[in-house]
A and B are shown apart, each in its own frame.
Chain A
Amino acid sequence: MIQIKDLHKSYQMGSNSLHVLKGINFDVKEGELVSIMGSSGSGKSTLLNVLGMLDEADEGSYILDGVPIRNLNEKVAARYRNKFLGFIFQSFNLINYKSALDNVALPLYYQGMKRHERIEKAEYYLEKVGLAEWSHHLPNELSGGQKQRVAIARALASEPKVLLADEPTGALDSVTSYEVMDLIQGINDEGKTILIVTHEPDIAQMTKRIVNLKDGIIIDDSPVKQIRAKVHV
């Protein structure tokens, strides 16, 4: 699903150049649930941004579902993001003046889908994350866990190839975190490829594979015995 070869990325900080990714090689097969770990500054967020086409690598190749991702202009990148990727953010990033339902329907709006189809689909995914009854509530009427579930429904709505989650439980307490991880595991069970950036070991243990980053290189990449979040709920 994802093939990355010799990926480099540096940032220009004034006169200094900061080399963040120093040759990343890594493949993800369809249906995997991968966590990317590392301390802050290890380059894990940068890696996720490159994977998410929000940022472009300086060197190396990135192939997503057989499509080489390079030299994208903003328009094409937007189309690819819409088609291939679903984003889950630490701070949920829901649009606060839109109802839960409209938030979920937003990526479909950018696909050019008709309103009634969009609403139907958004309702389906809201139900899937267990929030059908909250569909007309605004984000500030929802709890943190509920907001993240709305965000997950939004990421799923466009039926992407890959879900990218940046610290999805970072703003949640541990009980809510496990509930969210349970939901993510359920989605993975249905065959969706998911990448999670996290620095919490217990969250990483709930994935099927842990990639450890340090100073811009992968120091460890090994499968783990998955702990079901249900046990903690």
Chain B
Amino acid sequence: MFNKDRWNEILEALTANKFRTLLTAFGVFWGITILVLLLALTNGLKNGATVEFNDFATNSILTWSQGTSMAYKGLPRRRRFSYKLNDIEALKTEFPEIKYASPRNKLGGYRGENNVIRGTKIGAFGIYGDYPDYINQEPMDILEGRFVSYSDIEAKRKVCVIGIDVITGLYDKDEPVIGSYIEINGVNFMVVGTFKKPNSQGDAEEDANTIIIPFTTFNQAFNQGDRIYYMVITAYDAYDITELKESIFGFLKVRHTVHPNDMSALGHRDQSLDFKKMSGLFQILSVVGYFVGALILLSGIIGISNIMLISVKERTKEIGVRRALGATPWEIKSQILQESLILTIISGMTGVAFSAGIIWLMNYVLNENGPVQNFANPSVGLQVVFIAFSILVVSGLLAGLIPANSATKMKPVDALRIE
């Protein structure tokens, strides 16, 4: 369909009125630029917002115990109870769908009192007791040394892994950190590792001000028995934690003698549901992006159709001559269609390239000036380019359809008579 002669015919026709062709092309160029930019910005917002999840395993729930609200089996309402360490083992046995179940305990933290001492320096930090699995649920970058291990758990070693702000708070510059000791609530711990949260925004400060020690050590040193402050449960990817959680709660309620209908005894946060809600929101934003972009593009397409109509009108005589010289109606039609198609695709793909340039520039500025709240890495996938291309092909053909038909509607004898 496209040989060199066709190309020449089409290019000749398009360049015959360069300025007009350029103005017409601008409509489509602009439409597709806005379409791509809207999608890129949507992606930027999405990336910015998902950073807030800190790469937390999304198929997870956090659950903690609250007071009961219903009397059950002789036990009163407003009874306080705690999850116990043996709940974890029981859950893992009962629910093979569970990939990780990690207990956590916590001391100090946000606006807490000074609780850590090293030599003459003191600081207030969040102290967590953790199991080794926890790093799989909330990824951390280990900068030096290691995370807590199962042998730490077994031996209840007094070791700790510290966040980067703990280092700046307690150590001089270039002082060795690994192997040194810090005093947490009067108990000495050896630092075996340092960590940083990947991509952290939002909660960055709190994360960086964290000290992690083995869970068993925590409970012994700080007198927690086998109590758990909260647990983080992650299901295998094949299972949806949101569907699983009710049976998990049912199981825990039986273990802690809680009324099956007591809705407020167990508190939880569903990462999966939150993540889905947000993904849904950004899906809607993408749809809006496509919709608005497509509408703007539509006006560009109508511009092309309009100009092609005028051009066909102006070239009525030329078309008559071509037909007298032996052009079949289909040859005329396909030339008009191809002119419109080429014009649409070239101007549209220029728009794609242009918006890619703008996106690159945005990323460059973001990288230079550091992260912005709720916005990161605006980008579009290659599939958007393909979608844009298909939209252009279809719309180019649609734009050419009416002009192409009107080009051959007039009989050649009448077309030749036009002056």
Pair from one complex:
yes
* A97–B12 alpha-carbon span in the complex (Å): 7
Is A87 in contact with chain B by the CB < 8 A criterion? Answer: yes
Residues of A contacting B: mostly: helix
List 20 A-B residue pairs with CB atoms under 8 Å apart, sorted by A's residue number: A54-B324, A54-B416, A55-B413, A74-B323, A74-B328, A78-B323, A78-B329, A79-B326, A82-B325, A82-B326, A87-B324, A87-B325, A89-B416, A93-B317, A93-B416, A97-B12, A102-B12, A106-B322, A106-B325, A158-B326
The answer to whether A110 touches B331 (Cβ under 8 A) is yes
The answer to whether B325 touches A79 (Cβ under 8 A) is no
Residues of B contacting A: mostly: helix
Interface residues of A (CB under 8 A from B): 49, 52, 54-55, 74-75, 78-79, 81-83, 87, 89, 91, 93, 95, 97-98, 102, 106-107, 109-111, 115, 154, 158
Question: Which of these, A93, A95, A107, contacts B326 with CB under 8 Å?
Answer: A107
Interface size class of B (residues with CB under 8 A): 20 to 34
> Shortest 3 CB-CB distances between A and B: which pairs?
A82-B326, A54-B413, A97-B16
Question: Which of these, B5, B16, B330, contacts A109 with CB under 8 Å?
Answer: B5
The answer to whether A95 touches B411 (Cβ under 8 A) is no
Name the distance in Å between B299's Cβ and chain A's nearest Cβ: 28
* A89–B321 alpha-carbon span in the complex (Å): 10
Is B70 in contact with chain A by the CB < 8 A criterion? Answer: no
Name the distance in Å between B218's Cβ and chain A's nearest Cβ: 84
Task: Collect the chain B residues with CB atoms within 8 Å of residue A97's CB.
Answer: 12-13, 15-16
Q: How many residue pairs between the two chains, A and B, have CB atoms under 8 Å in the bound complex?
A: 68
Smallest Cβ-Cβ distance to A105: which chain B residue:
B5
Is B327 in contact with chain A by the CB < 8 A criterion? Answer: yes
The answer to whether A81 touches B321 (Cβ under 8 A) is no
Name the distance in Å between A137's Cβ and chain B's nearest Cβ: 15
* A83–B13 alpha-carbon span in the complex (Å): 25
Task: Collect the chain A residues with CB atoms within 8 Å of residue B5's CB.
Answer: 109, 115
* A91–B321 alpha-carbon span in the complex (Å): 11
Name the distance in Å between A144's Cβ and chain B's nearest Cβ: 16
Task: Collect the chain A residues with CB atoms within 8 Å of residue B411's CB.
Answer: 54-55
Task: Collect the chain B residues with CB atoms within 8 Å of residue A75's CB.
Answer: 328-330
* A106–B5 alpha-carbon span in the complex (Å): 11
Task: Collect the chain A residues with CB atoms within 8 Å of residue B317's CB.
Answer: 93
* A54–B413 alpha-carbon span in the complex (Å): 5
Smallest Cβ-Cβ distance to B3: which chain A residue:
A115
Name the distance in Å between A62's Cβ and chain B's nearest Cβ: 15
Smallest Cβ-Cβ distance to B4: which chain A residue:
A115
Task: Collect the chain A residues with CB atoms within 8 Å of residue B408's CB.
Answer: 74
Task: Collect the chain B residues with CB atoms within 8 Å of residue A111's CB.
Answer: 326
The answer to whether A110 touches B12 (Cβ under 8 A) is no
Is B318 in contact with chain A by the CB < 8 A criterion? Answer: yes
Task: Collect the chain B residues with CB atoms within 8 Å of residue A89's CB.
Answer: 321, 416
The answer to whether A95 touches B330 (Cβ under 8 A) is no
The answer to whether B328 touches A79 (Cβ under 8 A) is yes
| Residues in B300-331 with C-beta less than 8 Å from chain A | 317-318, 320-331
Task: Collect the chain A residues with CB atoms within 8 Å of residue B4's CB.
Answer: 115
Name the distance in Å between A99's Cβ and chain B's nearest Cβ: 10
Question: Which of these, A49, A52, A54, A78, contacts B327 with CB under 8 Å?
Answer: A78
Name the distance in Å between A69's Cβ and chain B's nearest Cβ: 15
Q: Given known contacts A74-B323, A75-B329, what 17 new A-B pairs fall within 8 Å (CB)? A: A54-B413, A74-B329, A75-B328, A79-B328, A81-B323, A82-B326, A87-B325, A93-B324, A95-B318, A95-B322, A98-B12, A106-B325, A107-B326, A109-B5, A109-B9, A115-B5, A158-B325
* A109–B408 alpha-carbon span in the complex (Å): 19
Name the distance in Å between B17's Cβ and chain A's nearest Cβ: 9
| Residues in B373-419 with C-beta less than 8 Å from chain A | 408, 411-413, 416, 419
Among B16, B317, B325, B328: residue with most chain A CB under 10 A: B325
* A198–B330 alpha-carbon span in the complex (Å): 33
The answer to whether B326 touches A52 (Cβ under 8 A) is no
Question: Which of these, A49, A102, A107, A115, contacts B413 with CB under 8 Å?
Answer: A49
Smallest Cβ-Cβ distance to A76: which chain B residue:
B328
* A214–B132 alpha-carbon span in the complex (Å): 110
* A212–B318 alpha-carbon span in the complex (Å): 31
Name the distance in Å between B18's Cβ and chain A's nearest Cβ: 11
Question: Which of these, A49, A55, A74, A154, contacts B325 with CB under 8 Å?
Answer: A154
Task: Collect the chain B residues with CB atoms within 8 Å of residue A55's CB.
Answer: 411, 413
The answer to whether B412 touches A54 (Cβ under 8 A) is yes
* A93–B329 alpha-carbon span in the complex (Å): 19
Task: Collect the chain B residues with CB atoms within 8 Å of residue A158's CB.
Answer: 325-326
* A25–B394 alpha-carbon span in the complex (Å): 53
* A52–B12 alpha-carbon span in the complex (Å): 28
Task: Collect the chain A residues with CB atoms within 8 Å of residue B327's CB.
Answer: 78, 110
